[in-house]
Amino acid sequence: MNCDDSLKARITTYLAEFSRDEDGPGDGRAAAVALCVVDEAFGADLPGLPVHDTWQSTAALVLTRRSSKLRNHPGQWALPGGRVDAGETAEKTALREMREEVDLDLGESAILGRLDDFTTRSGFRISPIVVWSGSNSKMIANEFEVDSIHRIPVTEFLREDAPLLDHREGSEAPILRMPVGDSWIAAPTAAMLYQFAQVCLLGNNVRVAHYEQPRFAWK
């Protein structure tokens, strides 16, 4: 799936047609994350994913590994994001966090739309903002917040084995995970990745706010 104007137009159209759930379950401290579409560049550096020797125009999403020095959720997979500051919109927060965490400075014209809010067990109501960066998106990790930056091809989120659903005794909703290479990403990040793939790439009206999160993400 190439990172070109046709993909940008597809995502924009599908988001415009998507009716967000304005009354999603739960309350929480306002936060926002960026689902940022970029070129894959020289390939993803994860076991089980192909590595390319030349520039690729394959579309990818920006994900990070949180710094192992952080107090909350060290080393976990994440989308660039954080708390919404006073006077900020979720969109401005997503752009600010992209700039602070991975040194990618984008204007509001880069915003394509947003998906459903997701309320986490740790007490946040996260607004996922879809952002287009496209080609030549050079990034530098903020050493205090991010251990590594990864460009994951969007096709990885369309795998036949995605999503992985784990049913837990005592819970009505399954825990959702998204396979990536030889590993996997857990909800809440995984839930937002799954909705991105279904809504933005396939045009399906899929909800994810009901999915459960693993115990390690509750803190």
What is the C-alpha to C-alpha distance for residues 76 and 67, in angstroms, rounded to an integer?
A: 8
Q: What is the pLDDT of residues 28-42, one digit of tens each?
A: 899 999 999 998 755
Average pLDDT of the residues of the chain: 88
Give the mean model confidence (pLDDT) for residues 152-159. Answer: 93
**Which pLDDT value is given to residue 28?**
80
Please tell me the predicted confidence (pLDDT) of residue 50. Answer: 61
Residue 111 CA: distances (Å) to CA of 70, 131, 136: 28, 5, 17
Q: What's the pLDDT score for residue 135?
A: 84
Mean pLDDT on 61-86: 82
Residues 159-182 have pLDDT tens digits of 999 999 998 777 788 999 999 988
Q: Which of 42-46, 75-79, 92-96, 139-143 has the lowest mean pLDDT?
A: 42-46
Query: Percent of the chain at pLDDT above 70?
Result: 84
What is the set of domains in the chain, with CATH numbers?
5-156 (3.90.79.10)
- What is the distance between the alpha carbons of residues 134 and 110, in angstroms, rounded to a whole number? 9
Pinpoint the alpha helices (H) of the chain: 5-17, 90-102, 189-195
Which pTM does this prediction carry?
Answer: 0.90
Determine contact, residues 55/42, Cβ cutoff 8 Å: yes
Which whole number is the average pLDDT over 58-78? 78
